[in-house]
Amino acid sequence: MPDPAPTLRSLAKVLGLSRTTVSDALRGSPRVDPNTAARVRRVATDAGYRRNPLAGALMSELRRSRGAAFRGVIAAIDFNEPERPDHAARYHRELVVGADARATELGFKVEKFSVGHAGLSVQRLDSILQSRGIYGLLLLPSWHDPDLSNLDWSRFAGIYTDYIIERPALHSVCSDHHRSLLAALQRLAALGYRRPGLFLQRHQNERLQYRWGAAFHAFQEHHGIGKPVPPLMVDVFDRAEFVSWFERHAPDVVLGHNSDAIDWMESCGARVPATHGFACLNLNMNPKPLAGLDLQPRILGARATELLIGQLQRNETGIPEWPSTTTIPARWVDGPTIRAKSPEG
């Protein structure tokens, strides 16, 4: 029979220390002499001991709640970035709502932390999470390349709720932008639109590894569009640049994030939806009624939470050797900015 897995009790017996001292040493408590702590860690590593973060969180929670039902805690980490568009906050809130609802069903709760500009430093975050016994981290989308490499990831499990994070490379859950845009273009073609135009901030395409642009080009190439409309990629949304592109290339439907394009189209003589259409690529970022894509952030948040809790339950902390990406397609929503049916219908 294989030897039983080492426990705090068996390690304490080998070391000639109390169970509490061994536990404090493995948690990095300053109450333990550094030389003793190093010896404990060395013996634990040699024995193949792996600390279960949920077990520690359970004991911590029971001590605080005096025996009440255990609820684990997941940290939703938001990156405080001045450059991020204000309307992105609505999408982040929906992600957290979905995460919290699913966490509650699974016996956990979600607490939000802000990192970066006007928020916590990474070092301070690490200290707070460890002192509170929080080991599951749900990382909200970052406008720039996020960097949480300074966290002690040997203690944490993490899921990123966008396409890719490299510092560190973690599992991620995100919308399937490529598939979703292809489906939207097919829907618009069925409604009789023949000259779709894509209008994006360049950064919005780059941060998704060019998936918006790739899907748009693939659709144009494989659907027999005679003289396709080139996409308009801009650094900042600008009326004059849009109007020049719109008048020169004459798209009959525009796909983009910025609904100001509707007013700019109508300033050129278009009437939405009578003569032209507009489809929003992320309805959660626009409060006004529009046709377009619901990226389903609540479902994304819920799925990311399921995967994160699964990691904790399997005691899978640290940076994964092979990070994976789970994608969920967006939902098309009909709205008042596109025609209701094909002109031929």
Question: At residue 308, what is the residue type?
Answer: L
Here the tokens at position 152 are 């002690």
Total H helices, total E strands in the chain = 12, 12
Sequential pLDDT tens for the chain (345 residues): 456 677 778 878 778 888 778 777 776 777 788 888 888 788 877 777 766 555 555 445 545 555 455 568 999 999 988 888 888 899 999 999 999 999 999 999 999 999 988 889 999 999 999 889 899 999 999 988 999 999 999 999 999 999 899 999 999 999 999 999 999 999 999 999 999 999 999 999 999 999 999 999 999 988 877 789 999 999 999 999 999 999 999 999 999 999 999 999 999 999 999 999 999 999 998 888 999 999 999 999 999 999 999 999 888 999 999 999 999 999 999 999 999 888 876
Fold (CATH) for 72-176+297-328: Rossmann fold (3.40.50)
Q: How many Cα atoms are found within 13 Å in the side-chain-facing hemisphere of 340?
A: 1
pLDDT value of residue 266? 98
Here the tokens at position 147 are 């960097």
In this structure, CATH architecture of domain 177-295: 3-Layer(aba) Sandwich (3.40)
What's the predicted TM-score (pTM) here? 0.81
Q: How far apart are CA 89 and CA 112, in angstroms?
A: 13
Q: Which residues contact 254 (CB under 8 A, 6 or more apart)?
A: 196, 197, 198, 199, 246, 261, 265, 276, 277, 278, 279
Q: How far apart are CA 174 and CA 304, in angstroms?
A: 9
pLDDT value of residue 1? 43
Domain boundaries, the chain: 1-40, 72-176+297-328, 177-295
Q: Is 138 helix (H, G, I), strand (E, B) or coil?
A: strand
Same fold, 72-176+297-328 and 177-295: yes
pLDDT value of residue 76? 98
pLDDT value of residue 62? 45
Closest alpha carbon to 177 in 218, 143, 148: 218
